[in-house]
Amino acid sequence: MSNNSSDSGAFVVGFIVGGLVGAAVALLLAPQTGEETRSDLMRKGIELRERGESALHEARVRAEELAAEASEWAKHTADDVAKGARSKMRGKAADGEA
């Protein structure tokens, strides 16, 4: 059992080291300058941030809509339960009077 755990750990370490080596080789062999690469990374980062902000805004709007719907549903349900309870109480009161 410990041999299996050791093999898994070695695989993960090898996977991470391989990824780092691959990234380094890709940067060294890239057909553009470091300045171009930094510029591209900056532009992509800005685009990613803008998409994230947009998605967050949409999620907030949708959450507010769902919260309003849930609140309205809860209000109607509470009203229905209260009406049912009053009706039952009136029915019991009428049975007690008879």
Residue at 17 is within a domain: yes
Confidence at 5, pLDDT banded by 50, 70, 90: low
Tens of pLDDT along 20-78?
A: 898 888 877 878 887 888 898 899 899 999 999 999 999 999 999 999 999 999 999 99
Could you tell me if 27 and 37 are in contact, meaning their C-beta atoms sit under 8 angstroms apart? yes
Residue 56 to residue 75: CA distance in whole angstroms: 28
Residue at 56 is within a domain: no
Residue at 16 is within a domain: yes
- Tell me the torsion sign for CA atoms 12, 25, 41, 34: positive
Residue at 75 is within a domain: no
| pTM assigned to the model | 0.48
Domain that holds residue 12: 1-30
Confidence at 98, pLDDT banded by 50, 70, 90: low
Residue at 98 is within a domain: no
Total domain count, the chain: 1
Residue at 10 is within a domain: yes
